[in-house]
Structure 1
Amino acid sequence: MGSQEVSTVDWQGKHVTVAGLGVSGIPAARALHERGAIVAVVNDGDDERARVQATELEALGITVRLGDGATLPPSTELVVTAPGWQPDKPLFLAAAEAGVDIWGDVELAWRLRGDNGRKAAPWLAVTGTNGKTTTVRMLASILEAAGLRTAAVGNIGVSLLDAVLGEQEYDVLAVELSSYQLHWAPSLRAHSAAVLNLAPDHLDWHGSMEAYAADKGRVFEGNTVACVYNAADPATEDLVREADVEEGCRAIGFTLGTPGPSQLGVVDGILVDRAFVANRQKHAQELAEVSDVNPPAPHNIANALAAAALARAFGVEPAAVRDGLRTFRPDAHRIEHVADIGEVAYVDDSKATNTHATEASLAAYGSIVWIAGGLAKGATFDELVTGAAKRLRGVVLMGADRALIREALTRHAPEVPVVDLDRTDTGAMSEAVEHAARLARPGDTVLLAPACASMDMFTNYNKRGEAFADAVRAHAEKSA
């Protein structure tokens, strides 16, 4: 199916099973029911929230089965799943054995776009292990600066179904896609797409790094204008080579160095384009200054270049790239500057929940007191510590798996002082900040970049970041 074609499905009387309540499941069930499908929702959980949601759906005539997401309802002709459900669940194995297709919420949104009779907006898609949300929001900011009607949607927390079926008309959508979502989206065909980077993540879900990369690579299938890859990450370029794209679709690289033809890069503090210019062999188009990127950390400049590449692939003028980057403000807990106290900067990157994200965060600063630890999710830390050792003034560790980081520090940075907090209560953050402040010297950065998930101590990475910011502010009051 070509990128601009809209699929038509006769939903009337079609038996569809929706797997999972929540952000994607409920809109899917409602949309299918409104189109005449006979919808059954199955859900593993049977808590109070699920029962309230079930009651609302049952009032519409939708069947809901709580506490049993394993059994395929009889007569099922299609399964629509929430993205987090693993492929080896009995429900999916039963569907595969019965020859029943399995779609994710992204696949359903793709099939239903244009269903309301309006022209279907093209998708500019972004995936990668880290940086997706920031890049998609930068892209949306650039598209808005160009005067286009757009929205940042998908894995960013805004339902794609709501975007494609809502009353608002869009010229183009900036779409964040996770590997889970791409796994269940076989017919997705974006206008242009980017894979920002690839590092081991979610391997328990995908089964192997090869399977994880293959699902990420699905974002390039059928692209019509540009497949954007990271020149510093050869695995992303390999995915472009393996993709089956529309004739004329181009491979566009981005680099923090001087770009070659068909690349975007950086020259003397300027973001430049040698891909979407008339004579890319000899000419480069200035897009913005590095100082227009907020914050101008190396990995964030890479995000900006990827966003710019997708916007330029859509025909956006250089001035809009500059204006969009200038007006963009990052989400909380993503290299967020909290305060300067006694010539020491305090930075919250609680969103750095894996080693790849933390590596990028540590690379952004020259001399660091690093606060780290939490749930390691099977990660190892030797490579991370080896790369950062020369920049570490000191380290403060906390959380359930802190010993893994401490052991890596002993092996690869034995001279770096380490404070090991033997506690996992939420109050540990205040003590961590006090220890970090004592280790820091003027010109240093105290950086919360845990390289671990937060759930051993906090509800989520947001709460962890808020605890850090509160502790920094309390320290500032003591120091005043």
Structure 2
Amino acid sequence: GGIVEVNAAPGLRMHISPSFGKGRDVGKAVIDHMYPGGGNGRIPVIAVTGTNGKTTTVRLAAHLLKAQGLRVGMTNTDGVYVNGRQTDSGDCSGPRSARNVLMHPDVDAAVLETARGGLLREGLAFDQCEVAIVTNMGGGDHLGLNYITTLEDLSVLKRVIVLNVAPTGTAVLNAADPAVAAMAPHCPGRVTFFAQDGEHPVIATHRAQGKRVVFVQRGHIVCAEAGFEKRLPLSQVPLTRGGQIGFQVENVMASVGAAWAVGVPWDAIQRGLTSFISDVHGVPGRFNVFDYRGATVIADYGHNPDAIAALVAATEAMPAGRRSVVISGAGDRRDEDIRAQTQILGASFDEVLLYQDACQRGRADGEVLGLLRDGLKGARRTRHVQEIHGEFIAIDTALESLDKGDLCLILIDQVDEALAHIQQRVAAARPAAPARRTRKKAAS
């Protein structure tokens, strides 16, 4: 015999349902040929949701998979990335961007930020995932929007990724967050719990049952299951600053739990944790630390009370003289959520600079500033409050007032633009390098 035709896109219906004779399942034969040995053609899919920490967890989990040698597709609120190259920018945490990654021919594994908005609009881009991570729920965010009015409503929405874990897959859940821990019974596969406290009742019970847990003990992240235990030193995880930044420790535990679930070797996990750097390139707008004329400047995109509380806890672990903070508020949040942010900051910062966002999201001019100012009434520590129109003007004002040893937390709105502006100011403040002197050759 010989080949009489090569068809790149053959029609199968004539073979499956012929006009005469017996139908043949040629589709199965094609797939069996493409994926021999019983493979199903699927790639590992890690979906990440929660209130805070999603983007950092996505980026770190993708980095750990890359350390294994996989070509990783990643979506988050910063863009779409395929094998380290950015292919789209902006908020790409919805199903459309996820589908672009899943259809890309060069992707061996996908890590997908799965945010509230995309879930409400279109649901999921996949039928099932190998790993679902829920970082935390806390007090929630975006409450009052799209008929999601309570934390319970938001939890029901975000546990959708847990419901769609494959039977052979894993949900990685925050044991210390009751709303997240309560999602465990809804997972069709296994559950890995994580929490900083290894004695937390949920962690202790799960571990006693021989199931997977991730926790912190004596400066190490401990990954335990039945008789197995792996310890990863926090001193070798730059993202956590030696374990000082609690919310980053939680993001690391979630990412490690996911990498463990998809079979990343431990040496690759350790390499990935050591090489992941929390700078404006690795995790833009997520606790980026700068030195400005001897003062510590931290830029972060925190924008809800839980994020602010976590940032305050992290900055309080850092020595400083005078502490200042630059903050605005998203106009589409509830009044009480906007006030709560400055209530938290007022107990820890000496000076607060309020600025008005470029987009007020439906609020009247000055309304958000008024709510932020209300939150500072009766503040325990804040003694000086300043209102400024314009994000960059507020940043410049804060930087100009810094002395050596001070600390300034800047809660940015326009992430890329604000970070570029801060980097420019930091670079301009560095002392010029001394000119190199050249020695004249002696006359011969």
For residues 356 and 316 of structure 1, do their structure 2 counterparts lie closer, same or farther at Cα, with a shift above 3 Å needed? same
Shift of 1:464: 2.8
SS at match of 2:72: coil
Q: 1:208 aligns with which of 136, 141, 149?
A: 149
Q: 1:168 aligns with which of 103, 106, 121?
A: 106
Q: Distance in 2 between matches of 1:301 and 1:168?
A: 31
Instruction: Name the Cα RMSD after superposition.
Output: 3.0
1:190 matches 2:140:
no
User: Residues 468 and 205 from structure 1, CA distance in 2 versus in 1: closer, same or farther, beyond 3 angstroms?
Assistant: farther
- Identify the match of residue 409 of structure 2 among 447, 455, 458: 447
Cα distance in structure 2, aligned partners of 1:273 and 1:404: 44
1:273-308: CA deviation from partner (whole Å, max 9, x where unpaired): 12xx342xxx53113424414243211111110000
After TM superposition, give the deviation of residue 177 of structure 1 in Å.
Answer: 1.0
Correspondence 1:215-226 to 2 at 5 A: 215-223=157-165, 224=167, 225-226=169-170
Q: How far off its partner does 1:139 sit?
A: 0.7
- Percent identity, aligned pairs only, is 23
Matches within 5 A, 1:410-429: 410-413=377-380, 415-424=381-390, 426-429=392-395
**CA deviation after TM superposition for structure 1 residue 446, in Å:** 0.8
Q: Does residue 1:294 correspond to 2:229, yes or no?
A: no
Pairs within 5 Å for 1:331-350: 331-342=283-294, 344-349=295-300
TM-superposed CA distance for 1:207, in Å, is 3.1
Gaps of 5+ in 2: 1-10, 13-30, 36-40, 81-96, 357-365, 433-444
- The question of whether the paired residues in 1 share the 8 Å contact of 2:237 and 2:274 is answered with yes
Query: Is the CA contact 2:44–2:262 (under 8 Å) kept in the aligned structure 1?
Result: no
Aligned to 1:256: 196
Total equivalences in the alignment? 342
Equivalent position to 2:118, from 181, 191, 208: 181
Alignment CA distance shift 1:266-1:147 (3 Å): same
**TM, length-normalised to structure 2:** 0.69
- Alignment partner, residue 177 of structure 2: 233
Residue 70 of structure 2 aligns with which residue? 148
Instruction: Give the counterpart of 1:467 among 421, 428, 431.
Output: 421
Q: Tell me what 1:268 maps to.
A: 218
Asked if structure 2 preserves the Cα contact closer than 8 Å seen for 1:126 and 1:193, the reply is yes
Contact kept in structure 2, 1:130 and 1:196, CA below 8 Å: yes
User: Which residue identity is paired with 1:391?
Assistant: S
Q: C-alpha displacement at 1:394, in angstroms?
A: 2.4
Per the alignment, in what secondary structure is the counterpart of residue 140 of structure 2?
A: coil
The superposition leaves residues 384-433 of structure 1 with CA deviations (integer Å, 9 ceiling, x where unpaired) of: 445455432322222242332222122343x4222313433743431232
In 2: Cα distance, 1:360 partner to 1:425 partner: 22
**SS across alignment from 1:391:** coil
SS in structure 1 at match of 2:285: coil
Judged with a 3 Å threshold, the aligned counterparts in structure 2 of structure 1 residues 322 and 190 are, in CA distance, closer, same or farther, namely same
CA contact (8 A) 1:287 1:322 kept: yes
Instruction: Indicate yes or no: 2:327 matched with 1:372.
Output: yes
**Would you say the 8 A contact 2:341–2:372 is kept in 1?**
no
Corresponding position of 2:363: none
Q: Distance in 2 between matches of 1:191 and 1:300?
A: 23
Greater Cα radius of gyration, structure 1 or 2:
2
Aligned equivalents of 1:166, 1:125: Cα separation in 2: 17
Segments of 5+ residues of structure 1 without an aligned counterpart are 1-10, 13-113, 455-459
Aligned residues of 1:348 and 1:469 also touching (Cα < 8 A): no
Q: Are 2:329 and 2:338, in contact at CA under 8 Å, matched by a contact in 1? A: no
